[in-house]
Amino acid sequence: MARPVAVITDTEELDPAPGVQLLADGGFEVRVVNSRDPERIAAAAHDAVALVVGYARVDAALLDRLPGVRIVATMSAGHDMVDTAEAARRGIWVTNLPHAATEDVAVHALASSLSLTRRLPQADAVVRSGGWNEDFAEVPRRASEMTLGLVGFGRIARTFARLAAPVFGRITAYDPHAGDADGPEGVERLGLDELVEQADILSLHTPSTPATRGMADAALFARMRPGGLLVNVSRGDLVDPGALLDALDSGHLAGAALDVFPVEPPAPDDRLRTHPRLQLSPHSAFLTDTSLRAYILEPARNVLAWWTTGRPHTPVVVPDAQADGSQPASLRQGAPA
């Protein structure tokens, strides 16, 4: 009997070898297509049952060309690259990685917040240009007198809140989907308008959805306190870049830290690359030696769990026909012993 086929796409900075080995040991034929090009993906995965994707778009047009695919496993906590409604309609599982880099992204958000608070980019620029402390016009605020506001209160934001609690004087959070008891003690739950108006640092931790795209716009920035700071380690399209640049140019916002961008990478002449009050990182908040292993191994483990038991470890789409966890007989018969 022919081995089932799994295709791994656009691994980019990840080494696919451990995931390839894990799937091969589990009985799969594995193909790697380090591309987001739907033509190349469709050619490689025409007979695949499993697709492991990074940022490659998996939409109805691609799925039309992959009739055998029964599971799409993402190499990220986010899964907005997959048309989940279309996957559910076709009876396809979709999985994500909710735990792979929780600590890493939370630490990055904390480091970004502290760097902005202490005006480290500006201090660095003064020294590099030959100046010293008398040339440093920035006067940082004391962190213990500042309010940190978290928009979204999922795993990463809750970990961030726990790490930040000894540093910042007050931590607030808004998340209509999280229960009041979720997260560490001492975090005040506020409405979005209240949180925006009271936060000295606004940190975004919400997925990209039709309701959240562009939420950080001119109106939101205008409601923030003068001298406020913005941190975004979530999704680039949450922020209106023109509105952010205007708020920085006017001085209403004192600074922002961006790990994600509306277009990645941003164009060489994009003002987001050069604004002096922006602290930037190349979508690397997740990046540690530990997370790099998890991002390739955990999707492979999701595929193997689905193939051998009928249910992956961390599904975000559960096909109605398999909601009880049962596996189609055709798969059970072909599963490795």
- Active-site annotation holder among 13, 39, 145, 264: 264
Q: Please report the DSSP string for 254-302 in residue order.
A: EEEEES--SSSSPPTT-GGGT-TTEEE-SS-TT-SHHHHHHHHHHHHHH
- Active-site annotation holder among 158, 205, 225, 283: 283
Helix ranges (H only) for 26-154 are 38-44, 60-64, 84-89, 102-117, 120-128
Q: Structure tokens of 150?
A: 């978290």
User: Could you tell me the CA-to-CA distances from 54 to 12, 40, 46, 70, 221 in Å, in that order?
Assistant: 8, 15, 18, 17, 32
CA distance 298 to 8: 13
The contacts found for 332-337 with CB under 8 angstroms, 24 or more apart, are 334/1, 334/4, 335/27, 335/307, 335/308, 336/26, 336/27, 336/307, 336/308
**Rounded to an integer, what is the distance from CA 275 to the centroid of its chain?**
24
Tell me whether residue 126 is exposed, middle or buried, using C-beta atoms within 10 angstroms of its C-beta: 0 to 12, 13 to 18, 19 or more.
middle
283 among known catalytic residues: yes
For residues 42 and 62, the answer to whether their CB atoms sit within 8 Å is yes
- Active-site annotation holder among 70, 225, 235, 277: 235
Q: Please report the DSSP string for 211-224 in residue order.
A: TTTT-BSHHHHHHS
For residues 136 and 126, the answer to whether their CB atoms sit within 8 Å is yes
Residues annotated as part of the active site: 235, 264, 283
